[in-house]
Structure 1
Amino acid sequence: MRPLRPIASALRLQAPPRSPRPASHSPCLLCAHRTSPPTLSRRYQSTATSTATSTDPNTTASPQSPPQTHFDFFPNTLPSGPPPAGHFTIDTTTLKREFLQLQARAHPDLHPPENKTKAQALSARINEAYKTLQNPLLRAQYLLSLRGIEVAEDETAKVDDPELLMEVLDVRERIEEAESEEDLLEMKGENEQRIADSVRVLEEAFARDDVQAAKGEAVKLRYWVNIKESLDGWERGKPVVLEH
């Protein structure tokens, strides 16, 4: 193996990006899809909370409670709610379909002026829930935050595993030394497998409600996601800085 630079100087430990928190005026993701999904004909019952959740901005007086977690917005895709009752792994195709259906009903342009503010707030919450749940890293960080563990905002959260850090540094140098896109193909395949392995470990950890194991794996997944971003944004001769 090639000589490696000192770990302290090669990796910059910074506060990781926070989970997206769109404001009520955030652009609607539905507009970007340019689709016209069928309008939902009924309100959904969430088995995660044992009470119905209201996603109709025109509702004024209703016994239905607002969604308590991101999972409550998608009772069809996630009928059991968050782990350990439900699964960490999500069918993102089904999630996207239900997201588009929800936004078709909540889109501010589809409601009278007196309900637009409420519709905009609901649309922003649906956007945030979807963007968080469709991303394994953000999903893991969100689930940990529900348990009072703020990995996404903890700049001290890192893996104290010398072998892992050596592997990260080795990949970093291989990316820097690449001469063409073809040189990255093998590394991309290897890293996709690392991400898949981390998702599997997270599934098992959340299933047994082992938050410490989930926390450690979420931090590890953040390394692999950063490597993926470096591979996707590769430019010949461009230095690679992995921020954690």
Structure 2
Amino acid sequence: MSQSMKPSPNGMRFYATLHRYVTSTECSQHRSSRPSIARRRAPCSHSSSSRQYASAAADITPPSSSNARTHYSLFPKTLPHGAPPHGPFAVDNAALRKEFLQLQSAYHPDKHSGTDKRKAEGTSALINGAYKTLQDPLTRAQYLLSLRGFDIADDERAKTEDLDLLEDVMEIRSLIEGAEEETELAETRQLNEKSIEESIEVLDDAFRRDDIEEAKLQAVKLRYWTNIKESLDSWEKGKPVILVH
């Protein structure tokens, strides 16, 4: 690396964090397809270039345990405090995208060769997946709950028992399916956007208080509202509405 491109101490700290995140993930994939968050990771071997990098960064302070090895640790500029409850649930999507593009540029496979290119491909995919997860409130909430052992995204049992909510959802479904023109759904669209905003606000408060039960309930509700939004955005006359619970 040329002297003009030498990273700052903060930059070195980030890349050391990212290096530990990626290599620990690679090691865990060899041991188990579904590693436990709390499982102790056994040492694994790396290439000579990786060992040199780790040696150069040996004096860098490791990330805090609350922020280590999560999607949040990949974006230290945008999410310096890490995941809730230490950091907020809300995310500045403009800042997140800016940092994402900077990282994707730095780890673009075409800028590397040999073994480093293969690692860059893996790192780029990791960054891309983390960005897609964190930029959307629903997938972000589902991811945070998965870190606590709750699979809200794929668990068919994760459904609301709020009968009023279910009644509202079915009524909205009928309105969407019965609309003759898309303009007839303008008010429904506005009300649904408000419901999404309210769920996000409640999720922000629940994660801040570390109230996981409330976060679970709101994540399920947000899934309903998000599904309705998708149905509204893809509306076609006579098209049936399939609401994924």
- Normalised by the length of structure 2, the TM-score is 0.77
- Residue 153 of structure 2: SS of its match in structure 1? helix
Normalized per residue, the structure richer in helix is: 2
* 1:182 pairs with 2:183: yes
Does the aligned pair in 2 maintain the 1:159–1:219 contact within 8 Å? yes
Q: CA deviation at 1:98?
A: 0.3
Residue 18 of structure 2 aligns to a residue whose secondary structure is coil
Corresponding residue for residue 128 of structure 1: 129
Equivalence map 1:42-191=2 (5 Å): 42=8, 43=11, 45=13, 52-54=16-18, 59-61=50-52, 62=54, 63=58, 68-191=69-192
Query: In the aligned structure 1, how far is the partner of 2:218 from the partner of 2:72?
Result: 21
1:215 maps to: 216
Higher alpha-carbon deviation: 98-107 or 60-69: 60-69
Identical-residue share of aligned pairs (%): 51
Q: Please give the root-mean-square deviation of Cα atoms over the aligned residues, in Å.
A: 2.2
Contact 2:227 2:244 in 1 (8 A): yes
Per the alignment, residue 225 of structure 1 pairs with: 226
Once the two structures are TM-superposed, the CA of residue 123 in structure 1 deviates from its matched residue by 0.4
Asked whether the equivalents of residues 137 and 221 of structure 1 are also in contact (C-alpha less than 8 Å), the reply is yes
Report the AA paired with residue 54 of structure 1.
L
Gaps of 5+ in 2: 23-48
SS of corresponding position for 2:17: coil
**Equivalent-residue separation in structure 2 for 1:40 and 1:128 (angstroms):** 28
* CA distance in structure 2 between the aligned counterparts of 1:105 and 1:60, rounded to whole angstroms: 20
SS in 2 for 1:152: coil
Deviation at 1:177, TM superposition (A): 1.1
Q: CA deviation at 1:204?
A: 0.2
Letter in 1 for 2:83: P
Please tell me whether the aligned partners of residues 109 and 116 of structure 1 are also in contact (alpha carbons under 8 angstroms): yes
- How has the CA–CA distance of structure 1 residues 98 and 78 changed in structure 2, closer, same or farther, with 3 Å as cutoff? same
Map Cα deviations across residues 98-154 of structure 1 (whole Å, 9 max, x no partner): 000011101101112231110011001000100000010000000001111111121
- Please tell me whether the aligned partners of residues 40 and 101 of structure 1 are also in contact (alpha carbons under 8 angstroms): no
Question: How does the TM-score come out when normalised to structure 1?
Answer: 0.77
Equivalenced residues, count = 202
Residues 8-39 of structure 1: per-residue CA shift (max 9 Å, x gap): xxxxxxxxxxxxxxxxxxxxxxxxxxxxxxx9
User: Over residues 175-196 of structure 1, what are the superposed CA-to-partner deviations in whole Å (9 max), with x where a residue is unaligned?
Assistant: 0111112112111111111111
Q: Distance in 1 between matches of 2:13 and 2:88?
A: 18
Tell me, in whole angstroms, the C-alpha distance in 1 between the residues paired with 2:7 and 2:236. Answer: 49
* Map of 2:203 onto structure 1: 202
Quick one: distance in 2 between partners of 1:94 and 1:220?
Answer: 27
